[in-house]
Structure formats: C-alpha cells, structure tokens
Amino acid sequence: GDVVEVEIVEKSRRGDGVARVEGFVVFVPGAEPGQRVKVQIEKVGDTYAIGRVVT
C-alpha cells in the first residue's frame, strides 16, 4: 500500500509501464516510458511489484 514516485523506464510485453525501485521491478498499467508518476503499490511478489498511478 506504499505510495512511491517512480520513473517509467520501459514498456513490458503486456504494455504496462516498468519502473525499478530498490531492486524491484514495478509494473504500472497505463504508464508510458519517460513519465514520472506516483504509484500505490497493490501487489508485491518476490522480485516484482504491481502499482497503480495515483494523483
């Protein structure tokens, strides 16, 4: 549930934005490479997390 500010560095095969935070890959649906966005972390796996953009 943490909110973090991230920079989207690439797009995943599924079309989600991808950021890296402290060694984690964070997938952000709807975000585009080059964007700097605040995301709320919704799911955390072993090496990745999924977040959604918050305003």
How much is the average pLDDT of 33-40? 97
Q: What is the pTM of this model?
A: 0.91
CATH label of the domain that carries residue 29: 2.40.50.140
Task: Report the number of distinct structural domains present in the chain.
Answer: 1
Question: What CA–CA distances, in Å, run from 13 to 5, 17, 25, 48?
Answer: 22, 10, 14, 15
Which domain covers residue 42, as residue numbers?
A: 3-54
Tens-digit pLDDT profile for residues 10-31: 999 999 999 999 889 999 999 9
Per the CB < 8 A criterion, the answer to whether 51 and 28 are in contact is yes
